[in-house]
Amino acid sequence: MASTDQAAGGGTPGKGENKGTAQIGVTGLAVMGRNLARNLARHGYVTAVHNRTETRTRALVEEFGGEGRFVPAATPEEFVASLERPRRVIAMVKAGAPTDAVIEEFAALLEPGDIIVDAGNAHFADTRRREQALRERGIHFVGSGVSGGEEGALHGPSIMPGGSAESYAALSPMLEAIAAKADDGSPCVAHIGPDGAGHFVKMVHNGIEYADMQLIAESYDLLRHALGLPPERIAEVFRGWNQGRLDSYLIEITAQVLAHTDAATGGPFVDIVLDQAEQKGTGRWTVQTALDLGVPVSGIAEAVFARSVSGHADLRAAARELPGPTPTLLDSAAYDRFAEDVEQALYASKIIAYAQGFHQIAVGSAEYGWDIDQGRVAAIWRAGCIIRAAFLDRIRAAFDGRPDLPTLLVDDHFADALRGAQSAWRRVVSTAAELGVPTPGFAAALAYYDSLRAERLPAALVQGQRDFFGAHTYHRVDRPGTFHTLWADPDRPEVTAS
Ligand SMILES: NC(=O)c1ccc[n+]([C@@H]2O[C@H](COP(=O)([O-])OP(=O)(O)OC[C@H]3O[C@@H](n4cnc5c(N)ncnc54)[C@H](OP(=O)(O)O)[C@@H]3O)[C@@H](O)[C@H]2O)c1
């Protein structure tokens, strides 16, 4: 390994003596790819590194060459030549057209049996297309979700690979080594399923992340504007919640953000941040895909729309003077109870968001023939990723106990939690409405819960309306068949439509 030791010390990129010495390679060395390559090298894997702009490759080896054995390559040809077979190439480049360009560039240099992993944030439909095209050329294409941001990529992300079982077998020792480890020591990586399954699951993960963040933000808003608590007191409330069933990365960092003081003004950091959030990529894809699949993900959708509303500054400015209730604070005697109620509403709404996300995964899996194990998905989200939470162990247990669970809501543990939370949840949503504090996430979650519970839904009336104006027909509750009512006839006789 003299040549790689030399490379690790910052030697000339990609010389012939490195031929076939690297066990895996990473191309695309911006923040994510660089950290993923370092993670692999730190775990003892000889790692080839390449970037379109060579300065990044040199910088990686110069700054971090001592962390492991890197084989720097100046060109795609040198990079591919430096890999042992089957060649394992991880592409960590900008999503979209750059990913297609990189895949094409490297596929032309690879041979049947070699593997390209796209570890970027691709749309699962693109992954399906790319996988099929490469399969026809004998090359395995793995679309892999990687969650945890740059810290996760370096110290242990949650990894969601989709592709052939054969390619997963060739990658799994490395992926298991670099993935985050759950409390029970198991690595947060699993073969999700064929072609686009990994990127689909990563997309839904991000949709759930949107919902989780929105629900936490609504909790903050209520504590601030219904109780009048200052941010540092709310940080204490979140720290307390983090000791209980809401224990999670997002609650933990929320407490830190709320406790943070702005150096320039000396005031709470949260008050100097412009209240306009972006909604790009995966959150939007989750909702678009859910609409295509006919899956109600209202909690996730409200989270995406809440960001969208926040970003419409002109619309908000135009509407700012519209009437609302006189701003009032709840009685300070109500403090403890209201804070407890908000915790209950947050937990219940969070259950709904996850139930909706897992429903989407189940429907996507059936639609595309992926056979996704939902318990495994929950298990690999327990550490490394942004939505990591103690709560995911309960979800894993729910699906492991009953793989055909129709919805998380009917699992005994979650049904009990919802039973215990529902009065508080209703009080929070009604108090928010009375005070004029927007809680689209809480309200949508509660409406979903009540819709699923309802003995009868007003969809019956909607069907009647549709039959009236468009002869769209309806089904009866008391006998089979499809019916249409002749609405123009004075006696409105019903006819069998088919
Ligand atoms: N940042 C995160 O927290 C995060 C988390 C999860 C997933 N991801 C995903 O991971 C991927 C990488 O993210 P990132 O933030 O590290 O980097 P990025 O800013 O998304 O992409 C920059 C990298 O892509 C390369 N690139 C762009 N166009 C290219 C082209 N036409 N041909 C070859 N290379 C090209 C750049 O090379 P040059 O240096 O030559 O410009 C650079 O290495 C993305 O798909 C992103 O969505 C990011």
- pLDDT tens-place string over residues 49-62: 999 999 999 999 99
pLDDT of residue 330: 85
Residues flanking ligand 1, CB < 6 Å: 28-33, 51-53, 56, 92-95, 98, 101-102, 120-121, 146, 149-150
Read off the pLDDT band of 15 (50, 70, 90): low
Q: How far is the CA of 99 from the centre of ligand 1 (A)?
A: 9
Determine the residue type at 330.
Answer: L
Q: pLDDT tens, 429-478?
A: 999 999 999 999 999 999 999 999 999 999 999 999 999 999 999 999 99
With a cut of 70, say whether residue 10 has pLDDT above it: no
- Going by alpha carbons, the residue nearest to atom 32 of ligand 1 is 98
Question: Which atom belonging to ligand 1 lies closest to the Cα atom of 150?
Answer: 3
User: Is 274 within 8 Å of 238 (Cβ atoms)?
Assistant: no
Q: For the residues 300-309, what does the mean pLDDT come to?
A: 97
pLDDT averaged over every residue in the chain: 94
Q: How far is the CA of 123 from the centre of ligand 1 (A)?
A: 15
Q: How far is CA 374 from CA 196, 205, 246, 395, in A?
A: 16, 12, 21, 9
With a cut of 60, say whether residue 402 has pLDDT above it: yes
Among 27, 31, 51, 93, name the best residue to mutate to test ligand 1's pocket (greatest count of ligand atoms within 8 A of Cβ): 93
**Residue 174, token pair as written in the block:** 């490395």
Read off the pLDDT band of 8 (50, 70, 90): very low
Read off the pLDDT band of 115 (50, 70, 90): very high
- Going by alpha carbons, the residue nearest to atom 5 of ligand 1 is 149
Q: How far is CA 368 from CA 204, 291, 373, in A?
A: 15, 16, 14
Taking the CB of residue 318, how many other CB atoms lie within 10 A of it?
10
Taking the CB of residue 352, how many other CB atoms lie within 10 A of it?
30
- Going by alpha carbons, the residue nearest to atom 17 of ligand 1 is 30
Q: For the residues 239-244, what does the mean pLDDT come to?
A: 97
* 380 against 497, higher pLDDT: 380
With a cut of 80, say whether residue 401 has pLDDT above it: yes
Q: How far is the CA of 153 from the centre of ligand 1 (A)?
A: 13
d(CA 57, CA 10): 10
Tell me which residue has tokens 């690879």: 110
Determine the residue type at 236.
Answer: E
The residues that bridge with 495 in the sheet, in sequence order, are 484
Read off the pLDDT band of 390 (50, 70, 90): confident
- Going by alpha carbons, the residue nearest to atom 13 of ligand 1 is 32
Q: For the residues 358-369, what does the mean pLDDT come to?
A: 98
> What long-range pairs does 45-48 form, CB within 8 A, spacing at least 24?
45/69, 45/174, 45/177, 46/1, 46/4, 46/21, 46/22, 46/70, 46/71, 47/22, 47/23, 47/71, 48/18, 48/22, 48/24, 48/72, 48/73, 48/79, 48/82, 48/83
- Going by alpha carbons, the residue nearest to atom 43 of ligand 1 is 28
Instruction: Cite the active site residues.
Output: 202, 209
Read off the pLDDT band of 303 (50, 70, 90): very high
With a cut of 60, say whether residue 3 has pLDDT above it: no
pLDDT of residue 16: 60
With a cut of 60, say whether residue 234 has pLDDT above it: yes
With a cut of 90, say whether residue 267 has pLDDT above it: yes
**Residue 431, token pair as written in the block:** 């108090």
With a cut of 80, say whether residue 364 has pLDDT above it: yes
Q: How far is the CA of 26 from the centre of ligand 1 (A)?
A: 12
pLDDT of residue 5: 38
Question: Which atom belonging to ligand 1 lies closest to the Cα atom of 119?
Answer: 10
d(CA 22, CA 43): 13
Q: What percent of the chain is predicted at pLDDT more than 70? A: 96
Q: For the residues 339-349, what does the mean pLDDT come to?
A: 97
Q: How far is the CA of 152 from the centre of ligand 1 (A)?
A: 16
Q: For the residues 34-48, what does the mean pLDDT come to?
A: 98
Q: pLDDT tens, 178-211?
A: 999 999 999 999 999 999 999 999 999 999 999 9
- Going by alpha carbons, the residue nearest to atom 39 of ligand 1 is 53
Which residues contact residue 446 at a Cβ distance below 8 angstroms, ignoring those fewer than 6 apart? Answer: 348, 349, 425, 426, 429
Read off the pLDDT band of 491 (50, 70, 90): confident
pLDDT of residue 12: 46
With a cut of 50, say whether residue 6 has pLDDT above it: no
Q: How far is the CA of 93 from the centre of ligand 1 (A)?
A: 3
pLDDT of residue 13: 46
